[in-house]
Structure 1
Amino acid sequence: MKDISIIISTYNSEAYLELVLYGYNYQTLNNFEVVIADDGSRASTKELIENFKKIAKYPIKHVWHEDNGFQKSQILNKAIVNCSCDYIIMSDGDCIPRKDFVETHHHHKEDGYFLSGGYFMLPMSISKIITKESIEKGECFDLKWLKSKGLKSSFKNNKLNSKGSKAKLLNSITPTKATWNGHNASGWKKDILTVNGFDERMQYGGQDRELGERLVNLGLKSKQIRYSAVVIHLDHPRGYKTKESINKNLKIRENTRNSKVIKTPFGIEKL
């Protein structure tokens, strides 16, 4: 029996998904399963997953539904139901985990809390040159290697080279709130089920934050681990991002906060 379920969302992005799956092959803690939340990808994604199962060091479940536009909330809810472990990490099919990613979430998990991680966005020019080999060697998390490929200096680079007391300090002083971030967050399945998962009215723009706001309304606290649990985010176009979707979601989130909503009627169970 595995200890942790990792949900990875994807849609028609086989090249990036394969790199992400390799990232989980090199983890220092291997007692997990991966549940792929597939928002209606073409057959080639299924083929990739079936082939990768032959070399994966962890079990993989592929949860898929018909393509009906951006319906990430729906497929994530189906993935949650399919998780066999008590604890769930959520990330995306364009976020490659550093080798200590799962171990870090496992170390910090605590009843009554959810964990809030961040990401390090790579520019498109570097995203395109990441390979299985650069993941296996850890080069794509190494600042010296990344700068040799054109990465510019920035305070955000601390996300890649902060460990131990430095990471703890930066986690404590960052002005960024410890929210539920779909690319890097984790919590107990029982808590996610209690708030009824994601609100399926919500498409792109803050549906992950809204889930976290309901977890807070439930009484949970959040821990900031953005400088400890590291994923690199591969860049890509976002054609599904619309002003209408974001505005609709902002109204739902406002109601969640003002009315202290805990259990959405539009989630895993339709109430």
Structure 2
Amino acid sequence: MKNTSLKASVIISIYKDVEALNAILFALNRQSETNFEVVIAEDCQSEEVLSYLKQQRFSFPIQHLSQEDIGFRKTKAVNRAIAAAKSDYLMFLDGDCLPHSHYVEEHLLQREQNRVCTGRRVHLGPAVSSWLRKKPQLLKLLENRLMYTLLGIPLLFDHTKNYEIGFRSGLLHKRQHAKYLTIVGCNWSVARADMLKINGYNEDLPGVGGEDDDLGWRFNGKGIHEKSVKFVIPVYHLHHLERRADVNINLRIIKENTAKKQYYCINGIDKYLD
């Protein structure tokens, strides 16, 4: 059942990492816009996650959806979360990315009809990531422009990548606003109705990688185009080892579907809708 009073549904895709989830929810608990829900899309059934959520209290309602752990099935987990979402506007975070305190507010402000808001992330180094996992309240230091500037050299020595993304700047945003920016699963938003037009993520993609690019070309085929929110809505990615598997299989399937102009995927959200 939809809740028209909710302004947004923030969907977080996770896999077992309770420490990172705690940091993300802490960051969401200090948002400048508070009228939203959180939908946790868990690609497994972790007792640690379930126990953690039972013990916590947050200022926003939480839905928690889990599924059997039989390999990478993020697309299925997120599709189920979209079907369960009670708001008509969806925002997406990965389970390793901490949102800026204006994340929800700014995505709503940037919202436009037939547009997908696409942002980017700061890739934090291992030392800073470890600190934020233990003390997520330190995120406010990165959000402060002066402190972020002063911390620039230590952050770069810690192998932080895309450091410049951490500056919220209207001027920088305007200078690159017209540039095409693809969807990355850690920081984007779209109207629920537009997501249903393409039937969500394609669950026939078995690998890690390419599933967000697949969304992009299918949105475009339906007349829904990307809108860059780079330098307006940063998120902060916690360091971890990358995992990519069967990406070539994904790319082959995407290429075949592109040739057929199959914008509405066959194996998507519709089977979870009432």
Q: Give the TM-score, by structure 1 length.
A: 0.90
**2: distance between equivalents of 1:63 and 1:117?**
25
1:93 CA drift (Å): 1.2
Q: In the alignment, what sits opposite 1:189?
A: 192
Residue 62 of structure 1 pairs with residue 64 of structure 2? yes
Q: In the alignment, what sits opposite 2:212?
A: 208
1:157 CA drift (Å): 2.4
**1: distance between equivalents of 2:163 and 2:242?**
24
Mark the CA change 1:261 to 1:78 in structure 2 (over 3 Å): closer, same or farther: same
Q: In the alignment, what sits opposite 2:93?
A: 91
Q: In the alignment, what sits opposite 1:249?
A: 250
Deviations 1:40-70 (A, max 9, x none): 0420011112222x1x111110011111111
Whichever residue aligns with residue 101 of structure 1, its letter is: Y
Q: In the alignment, what sits opposite 2:156?
A: 151
Whichever residue aligns with residue 151 of structure 1, its letter is: L
Of the candidates 18, 22, 42, which is equivalent to residue 22 of structure 2? 18
Q: In the alignment, what sits opposite 1:100?
A: 102
Deviations 1:202-261 (A, max 9, x none): 13111122112111111112101122111000011234x22xx10011112222333222
1:155 CA drift (Å): 8.8
Q: In the alignment, what sits opposite 2:168?
A: 162
Of the candidates 195, 198, 202, which is equivalent to residue 201 of structure 2? 198
Aligned residues: CA RMSD: 1.9
8 Å Cα contact 1:168/1:227 also seen in 2: no
1:194 CA drift (Å): 1.7
1:151 CA drift (Å): 2.8
Question: Can you give the 5+ residue segments of structure 1 that lack an aligned partner in the other structure?
Answer: none
Q: Give the TM-score, by structure 2 length.
A: 0.89
Question: Can you give the 5+ residue segments of structure 2 that lack an aligned partner in the other structure?
Answer: none
Identity %: 29
8 Å Cα contact 1:86/1:188 also seen in 2: yes
Q: Give aligned pairs, total.
A: 260
Deviations 1:132-164 (A, max 9, x none): 3213xx113342464364434989322112322
Mark the CA change 1:148 to 1:180 in structure 2 (over 3 Å): closer, same or farther: closer
Residue 31 of structure 1 pairs with residue 32 of structure 2? no
